[in-house]
A = this chain, B = another copy of it.
Amino acid sequence: MTAVEAFAQFEATWRPQVEATLEALLPQGQGQVGQVEEGMRYAVLGGGKRLRALAVLAAAAAVGGEPAQALPAAAAVEVLHAYSLVHDDLPAMDNADQRRGQPSVHKAFGEATAILVGDALLTFAFELLGRLPALAGVSEAVSLACVRDLAVAAGSQGLVGGQEADIRAEELEPSESLLQAIHDGKTGALFGACFRLGARIGGGTEEQVEALGRFGQELGHVFQIVDDLLDVVGDPALLGKAVQADAAQQKLTYPRLYGVEAARQMARDRLDQALTLLEGLDAAVLRGLAERVIHRVR
């Protein structure tokens, strides 16, 4: 079985479990605060590739753990990812009307509610990690380490910092180092955290947590290069959103800085380099996940 097949089988088994876990854990829209909770479900349950969740589960398996035990943490990273999309789509940010082929949250629920939906999702991601001992039988020490990992990845030196760099890039001199900072934050940090969480919950050593975290960080860069490429050459019907948005907003991207072909090659080289971090692990599924990331069309 090739790595691509191994991942396809893993995805077929676990993606429905991720959906079911999200469905079960998300609040149901109680009482007078129903709009926000309805918006939370709309933002999270509206499809999505679940690559981050599958990364958590696959990392747990790669260190000898049980993917099922990592499902609540996988749900937490999908919830956090959904928050970042809701806020990024806001009029003051990327002003995106569509997401996954549907109206973005602020288009469907209004801007004030969209801000609150994002806030509630970000908060809920940490609630889930705080509940890992009850939800997944994980130790308090591991759960708390997951809280720290996700907070650092999501914070001002991670996801939020990447968004800031992305927004401010148009005022600054385009450079490789600025582009790295954008990708480190926008995607690298959270992908890194996915692998760290999975490795922790799977019972990995601190060395394995670090190695898988670095692999995830690199895979996040590759994901973002492909994301930038898809905005230039992708199919809007498959993507479920408009293309050429980056160029319209003068975003700093790999294709803008190096051209499409060179950017493609850089993604491949970067991924091949990153794959060496997986030596010594039971990592066919992770290698297949990596191929999915670089060959994705949506």
Contact = CB atoms under 8 A, between A and B. Distances in A.
Contact of A120 (B36, B37, B147, B155): B155
A118, A172, A185 — most chain B CB neighbours (10 Å): A118
Contact of A112 (B31, B92, B119, B148): B92
Interface of A: 27, 30-33, 35-37, 40, 83, 87, 90, 92-93, 110-113, 115-116, 118-120, 122-124, 126-127, 129-131, 133, 140-141, 143-145, 147-148, 151-152, 154-157, 160-161, 163-165, 167-168, 172, 178, 181, 185
A119 B116 contact: no
A151 B168 contact: no
16 contacts: A32-B165, A32-B168, A36-B160, A40-B156, A87-B115, A93-B112, A112-B167, A116-B164, A119-B122, A120-B160, A123-B154, A124-B156, A127-B147, A127-B152, A130-B148, A130-B151
A161 B161 CA distance: 27
A90 B115 contact: yes
By secondary structure, the A interface counts as: helix
A133 B147 CA distance: 13
B87 A119 contact: yes
A113 B160 contact: no
Nearest to A27: B156
A160 B119 contact: yes
Contact of A168 (B30, B35, B127, B129): B35
Contacts of A119: 83, 87, 118-119, 122, 160
B163 A147 contact: no
Contact of A127 (B131, B143, B148, B167): B148
For the complex of A and B, 9 pairs with smallest distance between CB atoms: A127-B151, A33-B161, A130-B147, A92-B111, A130-B148, A120-B156, A140-B140, A123-B155, A120-B160
